[in-house]
Amino acid sequence: MNFESLFRLDDQVAVVFGAGSGLGEVSARALAAHGAKVVCADIDLHQAERVAVELEQTACAVDITNEEQVRQVLNDTFERTGRIDVVVTTPGINVRKPILQYSAEEFNRVIAVNLRGTFNVLKEAGRIMSEQGRGSIIAFSSIRSQVVEPGQGVYAATKAGIVQMVKTLAAELGPRNVRVNAIAPGVVDTPLTAQIKENRQWHEAYANKSALGRWARADELAGPVVFLSSEASSFVTGTVLFVDGGWTAIDGRFQPPLP
Ligand SMILES: NC(=O)c1ccc[n+]([C@@H]2O[C@H](COP(=O)([O-])OP(=O)(O)OC[C@H]3O[C@@H](n4cnc5c(N)ncnc54)[C@H](O)[C@@H]3O)[C@@H](O)[C@H]2O)c1
């Protein structure tokens, strides 16, 4: 093993779903910086193109809730490049409301993007990678897969569901040399959490909850994505990498009066 190139992705092909914003954009930037050719896919083509143009990579429009569109993007990439080494999927939405006030439409909308959309990517990426006999798939879960607060019911259920799908696909595709992992961020400053940033008390309470006492910057997710994409994680599959500043390790509500 060449330790110097452990994290390099030269000549490899990566497809990033959700590359137009937040953690998907960071993933695309990080993978390209490590040598990968990156397809920046997003429902918002304008944003995907913004990122792709800057990185001198390619962009495409895709709605991950549409199985056919996901299959098309991956098939086109494979036909064009002859390989897909890494697939990252980040799209996720949240409607923060008590369960008693959740409408059926809101429930369906969150499930459609977070669970069904991630399922579509896992399935179609897994299909291509199992045929080629290698690859790494990274899905985005959350601390909400483990710990919750009022208003997170449906979102949390999808994030726990993603973990179980990731583990199952890892079990199914391990013999085909395909690795499947999840990243579970804590609170990260992206458009997804803009609603919280607007409320100073809410924002500070979240900062104080983690061991590091602050929010994550989006670019702090770059390292975990590159790690799980590269040879550096060649024996890591079916796992959940918490990138949460210690949020899930501590209860964080009380500072005991210690000497
Ligand atoms: N930001 C956080 O604090 C945080 C914390 C824990 C987990 N996460 C998870 O990380 C992931 C990424 O979050 P983010 O903060 O980057 O969000 P974001 O809102 O900044 O970016 C999401 C991107 O996905 C795209 N998208 C939305 N629906 C889509 C669809 N149907 N098909 C294709 N693209 C679609 C959007 O256009 C956008 O570019 C999510 O799954 C989220 O649940 C985020």
Residue 175 in domain:
yes
Mean pLDDT (the chain) is: 97
Distance 26 CA to ligand 1 centre (A): 11
Question: Does residue 138 register a pLDDT over 80?
Answer: yes
Based on the residue annotation, tell me whether 102 is a catalytic residue of this protein: no
Residue 250 in domain:
no
Q: Residues 111-119: what's their mean pLDDT?
A: 98
- In this structure, the residue with its CA closest to atom 7 of ligand 1 is 142
Residue 207 in domain:
no
Range of the domain at 147: 8-188+218-243
Residue 199 in domain:
no
30 CB burial (10 A radius; 0-12, 13-18, 19+): buried
Residue 128 in domain:
yes
Residue 255 in domain:
no
| pLDDT tens-place string over residues 142-191 | 999 999 999 999 999 999 999 999 999 999 999 999 999 999 999 999 99
Residue 228 binned pLDDT confidence (cut-offs 50, 70, 90): very high
Number of domains making up the chain:
1
Question: Does residue 216 register a pLDDT over 90?
Answer: yes
Distance 143 CA to ligand 1 centre (A): 14
Residues contacting residue 35 through CB under 8 Å, at least 6 positions apart: 8, 9, 10, 11, 12
> What's the CATH number where 130 sits?
3.40.50.720
Token pair in block for residue 21: 């914003």
Single out the catalytic residue among 155, 227, 242, 247.
155
Residue 251 binned pLDDT confidence (cut-offs 50, 70, 90): confident
How far are the Cα atoms of 98, 185, 204, 218, 245 from residue 153, in angstroms, in the given order?
7, 17, 22, 24, 23
Query: Which has the closest alpha carbon to 243: 209, 220, 213, 214?
Result: 220
Residue 258 in domain:
no
Question: Does residue 252 register a pLDDT over 80?
Answer: no
Residue 194 in domain:
no
- Ligand 1: residues within 6 Å at CB? 17-18, 20-24, 42-44, 47, 62-65, 90-92, 113, 117, 140, 142, 185, 187-188, 190-193
| pLDDT tens-place string over residues 70-111 | 999 999 999 999 999 999 999 999 999 999 999 999 999 999
Distance 104 CA to ligand 1 centre (A): 21
The whole-number pLDDT of residue 1 equals 85
